[in-house]
Amino acid sequence: MIGVKANAQRVSFVEPKEDASLTVSPNRVKIVVHSNSDKMEMSHNMGEERGVRTGNDDGTYSYTIDYNFPEDYDEDFMKSTFLVRLPGGQKEFMLILRKGKGFSGTFNENFTITAEKNNDGLFPESKAAKVTFLSDMKKLNIECNGKPCFVEGKAVPADGCNMTAAVSNESGVMNAYSIVFSLDEEKKTPTFIKHPVFKIKSSFSNEIGVDLGGDLQYKKSYSYTVVSNIKVVEKEASFEEVLARAQAKEKESDFFAAANAYQDARSHIDCPADRRSELESQLGRMNSARRFLHYAEKFERQGARVERKEGFTADSVFIYYRGAIRSYKKVLEYAPGATVYAQREEALESKLKDHPMNNKVTTVTVKYQEITGTHPNGGGIPIYASYTSEKPKASSDDKPLGTTRGDGSFRLVFKTTPPPYLYFYGDKKSYAIDSTTTEINF
């Protein structure tokens, strides 16, 4: 047999050596190969046995061949060839096996990690910011500007520094490694970090750097997902545990983590068949809540930006904040228990009572608002509410407001404030409207 050379960049191999810690019967030999992958295959030329996989507490795996020497085999040793295979490469090696002995080695996939940027959000504290790294790896090491934040997945106190680290979901599917930075200039600490640069690694992996690209901003939440080229499962959670985690994350209004957990519960091997459609619905709700929360926070940021530049009475301030209010209402439709966003909606509603455009909208609302037009592509085109000037992403939760008639004409009537945009299916953009729009010209 000719062995295929292992790709040194993808795999690493330590040949098995005699291991006195292994318990072996007198006429047997035990070969154990440890790996960080659950996809390793192990075979030998002495017989048909294959490596039997077991999970270890540290998230790695052990593959064991327990071979029984033939009864009529008089020698105390045997020469044999083994083959271990991973998706990234394979290795063939020869061992001289001795009765009553055990051998152990390792064959690992080289473990690399990367950080993917998520959407930024709002952080409720006025003179603070938050940075969160989401990962299914439970033992990450993270440092900020040379100061450790997490060691082996545990938060480390940062004495004399303006950051506080905390980790959550330790027994769940996804860990949230969060660092809150106090940005109050009047309460400066000996080490006052405004422009954080992070270094992240695990015990198996390379080290990566994450630079936010500038100073932290007040009331802003930054988020990243740290992923690896190898899926390391530290413990197989039960269906009940995964479902409980999803429900807990929904109560915390962490829609991203809740959606991931509902997805895991739905695809769990022990998920009852009669519950899959229910979990599919829950997954859809969390994804929709997450999507509208993105719109809400985006509109609120845009409104605040215009307010700083042009003043509170600018028409765009009203339009953006109304867009945020509508989006927060949609969030609450999909996640009624998200009281923090109900408070944001109420705060914006209260703020807009004093805006000059508020009376105009009240008049239009009482009379209803009618918007008409003729689309150049003819009839049968579905018309959707949109919260972006671009082509919106499709969702199974979206329902058309109406369709164009045979000649392309349409008439929409709004009993409440209309959405900020209308999207006609098949177009490359959405069309901006407000409380005064009566016709769309294409």
Of 79, 106, 83, give the one whose Cα is nearest residue 95.
79
Q: Which of 1-5, 99-103, 198-202 has the lowest mean pLDDT?
A: 1-5
Q: Which of 307-321, 359-373, 409-423 has the lowest mean pLDDT?
A: 359-373
Specify the residue for token string 């790896």.
137
197 — pLDDT class (breaks 50, 70, 90): very high
CB 406 within 8 A of CB 378: yes
CB proximity list for 196: less than 8 A, separation 6 or greater: 131, 144, 145, 163, 179, 181, 212, 216
* Token pair in block for residue 398: 């979206």
What pLDDT does residue 54 have? 93
What pLDDT does residue 234 have? 42
What pLDDT does residue 267 have? 83
d(CA 8, CA 424): 53
29 — pLDDT class (breaks 50, 70, 90): very high
Which tens digit of pLDDT belongs to each residue from 75-97? 788 888 888 988 777 888 889 88
In the chain, % of residues over pLDDT 90: 33
Mean pLDDT, the chain, rounded, equals 85
What pLDDT does residue 3 have? 27
What pLDDT does residue 396 have? 47
Four-residue CA torsion sign, 117, 255, 196, 111: negative
What pLDDT does residue 348 have? 93
What pLDDT does residue 72 have? 67
What pLDDT does residue 172 have? 61
Q: Which residue has the higher pLDDT, 306 or 407?
A: 306
111 — pLDDT class (breaks 50, 70, 90): confident
Residue 183 has pLDDT above 90, yes or no: yes
What pLDDT does residue 24 have? 93
What pLDDT does residue 398 have? 66
Mean pLDDT of 362-388: 77
Q: Which of 188-192, 202-206, 340-344 has the lowest mean pLDDT?
A: 202-206
Residue 307 has pLDDT above 50, yes or no: yes
pTM reported for the whole predicted model: 0.39
257 — pLDDT class (breaks 50, 70, 90): confident
361 — pLDDT class (breaks 50, 70, 90): very low
Which tens digit of pLDDT belongs to each residue from 205-244? 778 999 988 999 999 999 999 987 655 444 457 889 889 9
What pLDDT does residue 364 have? 38
